[in-house]
Amino acid sequence: MQLILIRHLPTEWNKKGILQGKQDIAIMDLTEEYNKEIEKNNKIIAKHGPISTVVTSFLNRTQQTAMAHGYYTYQVDPLLNELDFGEFEGRDKSQLIEVHGDKWLYDPKQLILGERLSDFEIRVITFIEKYRNYKNVLIFGHGSWIRACVSYRHYGSIDNMNKIEIKNNELVVLDFSEKLI
């Protein structure tokens, strides 16, 4: 199974460094720069062969990003929803780092924000297992979720997720056909 993951296009909150989590913030108007990135993403997607299924979260920003890429038919799966940041939603990310910096970077599964990050990891793994029989899964997702998935694929857990950067509209391809480390 191959996952083709695209982080949603930017929102006003992304530009300001504000944590969104489960808040349903719309994407910004598309610029020529983002339209070029979308075109580039679509060429990469085409190189990976036919898409088995397209999946978004319940939040509009992932669905709007799917449609901006030309994918108007998709499944909505709550397993793909962004991390619930609890009291930090709507606040600058630096405040989360100030309060939970070391754990956030080095031991995120010890944190409980709006949800336990250990439960968040289970949600990511459950998603991977649910779609294991598909060949190419195109995912329009969220920053924390994609970083957790990348960390899980490369390190066997989400422990390194917050040392990874995934920009808005960035495309990442992960191959899950081989055994994890």
Does the annotation list 10 as a binding residue?
yes
Task: Indicate which residue of 8, 69, 100, 142 is catalytic.
Answer: 8
Q: Residue 166 — φ and ψ, nearest 5°?
A: -130, 115
Does the annotation list 93 as a binding residue?
yes
Task: Indicate which residue of 37, 69, 82, 121 is catalytic.
Answer: 82
Does the annotation list 98 as a binding residue?
no
Residues belonging to the chain: 181
Active site residue 8: yes
Cα distances (angstroms) measured from residue 72 to each of 25, 46, 75, 141, 151: 19, 16, 10, 15, 29
Does the annotation list 69 as a binding residue?
no
Does the annotation list 108 as a binding residue?
no
Residue 73 CB burial class (10 angstroms; 0-12, 13-18, ≥19): exposed
Does the annotation list 13 as a binding residue?
yes
The 3-state secondary structure of 69-134, one letter per residue: CCCCCCEECHHHCCCCCHHHCCCEHHHHHHHHHHHHHHCHHHCECCCEHHHHHHHHHHHHHHCCCC
Catalytic positions are 8, 82
Binding site feature residues for substrate: 7-14, 61, 93
Binding site feature residues: 7-14, 61, 93
